[in-house]
Structure formats: C-alpha cells, structure tokens
C-alpha cells in the first residue's frame, strides 16, 4: 500500500466542506481550507475540471468535433462558469452554432442575462465565437 493510500484511508474522503476535530474547515482528504491552496494546486484542479467539461461537451453536443478549438474553448469556458446544464439552456445559441451561424450565435450570447452578469468575459468570448 502506498503512502497516498494510507493517508486517504486515514483521513477519509469528504466531498463537501466540514469542520475537523480542531474546528478547521476541511475538504477532500483532510485538506485544510483555512490554510488555502497554492496557485499550482488551483491550476491542477482547474485543468482537471476543464478536461471533464470537455469530455461531457463532446458527448452532449453532436456538432462538437466540427468546431474549431477556439469555439470549443468558448463553450468550455461558458460551461465552467455556468455549469453544463446552464450552458445547455442557451438553446438558440447552441442551435446557431450547430448550423455554423457564428455571428448570430455571438450576438445571442451578448443578449443573455449571463452577458450582463459577466461583462467583459462575454464580450471576449462572443468575439472568439464570431472569429473562430
């Protein structure tokens, strides 16, 4: 048994934050949230979550493989922000993307509540969708 296995067994896994025996906010395998995480740790988590989103979008969107990497990146970015189901709520935008009407898809992105909430992010992503 490896040290990773030993620590995982001893700490136990908790997917949601909880207070440990000393009252520290903890998650996962005894990770003290009060201590924070490094940028490297945050990037590892981000990278993993992006890979998961990419896989789910590949399964959910029949037109995925026809998109340029830039347009795939837009949808991944939106799914990261909104969740997969939130992105799937962009029915008109996704239909337009599937039809290859990227200009109108970009316009639709900018008309959304999401665009009002995220501001510059929506402007950048809509331009990336428009220009591919």
CA distance 10 to 108: 51
Residue 81 and residue 109 in contact, taking contact as beta carbons nearer than 8 Å:
no
CA distance 23 to 39: 25
- Band (pLDDT 50/70/90 cuts) for residue 128 is very high
CATH number of 39-131: 1.10.530.40
Mean pLDDT for all residues in the chain: 97
Closest CA to 107 of 132, 81, 126: 126
Is 90 exceeded by the pLDDT of residue 3?
yes
Span 81-112, pLDDT tens digits? 999 999 999 999 999 999 999 999 999 999 99
Span 31-76, pLDDT tens digits? 999 999 999 999 999 999 999 999 999 999 999 999 999 999 999 9
Q: What residue segments make up the domains of the chain, in order of their start?
A: 3-35, 39-131
The whole-number pLDDT of residue 1 equals 80
Residue 86 CB contacts under 8 Å (≥ 6 apart), including other chains: 78, 79, 114
């Amino acid at each position: 048994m490896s040290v990773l296995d030993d620590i995982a067994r001893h700490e136990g896994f908790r997917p949601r934050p909880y207070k440990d025996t000393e009252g520290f906010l903890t998650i996962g395998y005894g990770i003290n949230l009060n201590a924070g995480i490094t940028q490297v740790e945050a990037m590892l988590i981000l990278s993993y979550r992006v890979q998961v989103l990419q896989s789910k979008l590949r399964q959910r969107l029949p037109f995925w493989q026809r998109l340029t990497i830039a347009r795939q990146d837009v949808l991944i970015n939106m799914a990261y922000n909104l969740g997969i189901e939130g992105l799937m709520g962009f029915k008109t935008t996704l239909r337009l993307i599937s039809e290859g009407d990227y200009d109108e898809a970009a316009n639709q992105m900018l008309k959304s509540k999401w665009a009002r909430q995220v501001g510059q992010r929506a402007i950048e992503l809509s331009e990336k969708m428009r220009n591919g």
